[in-house]
Structure formats: structure tokens, C-alpha cells
Amino acid sequence: MNFKQLQYFVSTAKHGSITAAARELDVAQPSISQQLANLEFELKNTLFERNYKGVHLTESGRVFYSHATELLNRMIFAKNAITDMAKYPSGTVSLGLTQSIDNILAIPLVNEISKIFPDIKVQITTLPSKCLNKALADKEIDIALSYKEEVPTANIIRKPLIREDLFVIVGTRDAVTYKDLLSVDALSFDAICHLAMLAPGHKDTLLDTLKNMEVKKEKKLKLLAGFGQLSTALRVVVQGRGIMIAPSSASYHLAEKGLVKLIPLIDDELKREVTINTHVDSSISKAMSIVMNTIISLTRVANKNRSWAGEFVYSDTEDRHYIDRSNISELITCK
């Protein structure tokens, strides 16, 4: 039994598919099948039931899965401990971001890390906030940037990063239907209730925020069917066929080009807290610390430049166990 076999087994069990495991691990499907067969031969037990729908754990497989995940985590912790002793930090860090946060941080983060720490690989997963929290709780990712939930997910350590402002986003070029909004400097929740807007995805915590405001104000928003993908919704807005609510991180690049106008929402209840999260049982490797510190620095820059508008609330005094912060160049600008 070896690390590779455990890794292949856990990934296959998690996805219920050898094909999906091969895609996640970036290895050939026959390699996984062969390693699983060797593992079953060594254990003298069938671990998976196989059919046309995929694979499912047998009773023996379920018992072995709980031990395999623990062994795999211990091996990863041991590897991280040795890696951290190296002069040049290395390793893969799995990072989860929402679509709007991915839009503001992904490219500058990967560029900065690859420039200063070329042996660190950042693997980014983009999901709705609630899905990110579950993935982190299940140890499928190392770090998540997500929104504070009313019912917190267990086993997660949260550190407030930024309390972001929300905006009504309006297209400027073909916004005939919404041209009156282009002369407005700010809006309240009450003022937007008569406006037909694209709805956030059903797993987006923004929808929860808006629903809570509806209850508090005893008013209903006119929410149209959403598109799920941020890029698609923004295209509709730019074309003047709709408006939407989002943080400035979602569309700052379009605002810079004059394609959209961002109208701030003044209600304090519509501000959202973004947290930087790790699992309570995770060993914080040097590579993870570097990625987190870079995220914090880039967020500070984006907030200063108003491309990610709101209040930067991260406290430096809380994380003395992190490595000293590097000087992060101002990669994000907002005209």
C-alpha cells in the first residue's frame, strides 16, 4: 500500500467515478484502475462495486475509506512538514473562490505567486459560497474565500477579510430602458424594488441577503430568471438588456472601460463580509501561508483602488504564525 494507491482510492470514492478521479488527479484512467486492482489484491477485499453508472463502495470499502482518508491526511501533513524545511517553498495549494472574487483575484494571485515562488502551484476552484464552505469542510480544498453564513459550516476557521459594498450594475452604451439610472449617484433597497433585475443563482448567498431584506422591508423585488454564470449575466447588462446587483469586484474591469456604471446601494444591511477560511484540522504549510498572505495583500490593494469597494477588515495582529508578508506590487488598478 502506498500514497498513490490511497490517493487514487479516496478520489474515486469521493467522485463515484474512475473517470472523474482521473480528471481531478490529471492521470490516465487505466493507471487508476490498475492501482485500485493492486490495492484490492493486497487487501484481499473488493472495495468497489462497478456498474455502468460508475463505482460504489462496498461495506469493506466504506470501512477502509475512513482509515484511508486519515492516512492520506497524515501523509500530506508529513510531506508539508518536510517541504516547509526547504529553502524554496513548494507544493500545490487548492483555493476556492466565488465567481466575483475569482474575477478580481485569480489572475493577479497566480501571476504574483508564479513570479516570486515558481515552485508553488495554485489550483483554483470556482463555486458558489455555500458549495465552497462544504468543500472546505470536506477537506476537498485547502483555503476558501466565501461569505459569512447565518448558519456556519462546522470545522471551519474564519477570518474576516473585507466587508464589501454592493452595487446596481447598469450598461452605459445601449441602456435605453435604464437610461434614467445613469444620472443616479446612489440607490436604496426601497428605490430598487420597482426595477426588474437579473436574479442571483439559487446557491448564491446574495439571494439570501436580498430575501432577508424583503422580509425586513416587507417589500418584494422584481427578480428575473438569472443566468448562473457571472460572465453571461454581465454580457446581458452590457448589452442593455438587464441590470443586476453585485460587488464591484464582479465588474470593475467593465467600469474601467466605461461599459457599465456601478451605482452604490446605501443600505448597511446589504454589505457582505468576505472571510478567508481554512479547515480546523489543517496543517498550515508554508505554501498555504504564502498564498493567504498574497491574497490579503492583493485584497488590500484592490480595496484601496476601489476595484473591490468596501471596508478592509482583516487584522494583521491575528496571524503572527504566518510568514512575513512580501511586498505585493499594485497589480490591480481602478481608474
The pLDDT tens digits of the residues spanning 156-184 come to: 999 999 999 999 999 998 766 788 899 99
Task: Give, in words, the CATH class of 3-83.
Answer: mainly alpha
The architecture that CATH gives domain 166-270 is 3-Layer(aba) Sandwich (3.40)
What is the DSSP track for 109-145?
HHHHHHHH-TTEEEEEEE--HHHHHHHHHTTS-SEEE
Residue 54 is predicted with a pLDDT of 84
**Cα separations in angstroms, 17 against 4, 5, 14, 50, 253:** 17, 15, 8, 9, 39
**What pLDDT, on a 0 to 100 scale, did the predictor assign at position 145?**
96
* 299, three cell numbers: 485584497
Say what the pLDDT of residue 175 is. Answer: 65
Same fold, 3-83 and 166-270: no
> Which residues contact residue 327 at a Cβ distance below 8 angstroms, ignoring those fewer than 6 apart?
none
Round to whole Å and give the CA distance between 155 and 133. 10
pLDDT at 204: 85
pLDDT at residue 201, rounded to an integer: 81
Place of cell 495582529: 317
- End-to-end CA separation in angstroms for the chain: 57
| pLDDT (0 to 100) of residue 111 | 96
Report the run of H or E that residue 56 belongs to, with start and end.
strand 54-57
Domain ranges of the chain: 3-83, 91-164+272-318, 166-270
CATH superfamily label, 91-164+272-318: Periplasmic binding protein-like II (3.40.190.10)
Q: Pick out the chain residues at pLDDT < 50.
A: 318-335
What is the average pLDDT score of the chain?
A: 87
What gap in Å lies between CA 167 and CA 245, rounded to an integer? Answer: 5
Which residue type does 247 have? P
